[in-house]
Amino acid sequence: MTTFLALYRGDAVSSAKLLALTADSGLLCDFAARLLAMPRKEQNPDLVLGELEEGRRRALQLVKSEAE
């Protein structure tokens, strides 16, 4: 599976322009590691939102481990 990181900038999501795109494994690993190092939010009382957050963290862990 291909993993890439894109940087957009704009007044709104709908009008944002692509500034950079990379598949560099070092940048991907660093970005995923930084997101994983952020403190976890309190346990979400909504089970669906809690599962989405856990899935996001598992995906970041995979990106990080594949890029190492």
Structural domain including 48 reads: 25-68
Q: Between vectors from CA 31 to CA 28 and to CA 37, what angle results, nearest 5°?
A: 135
Q: What is the pTM of this model?
A: 0.77
The candidate with the shortest Cα–Cα distance to 32, out of 67, 2, 60, 54, is 60
Mean pLDDT of 48-68: 91
Does 20 reside within a domain? no
Residue 9 parent element (H or E): strand 5-9
Instruction: For residue 54, give both structure tokens.
Output: 């856990």
Does 50 reside within a domain? yes
Mean pLDDT score of the chain: 92
Do the Cβ atoms of 10 and 25 come closer than 8 Å? Answer: no
Q: Considering its fold, how many domains does the chain have in total?
A: 1
CA atoms within 13 A on the CB side of 58: 6
Does 31 reside within a domain? yes
Percent share of the chain, pLDDT over 70? 100
Q: Which amino acid is at 63?
A: V
- The residue with greater pLDDT, 44 or 56, is 56
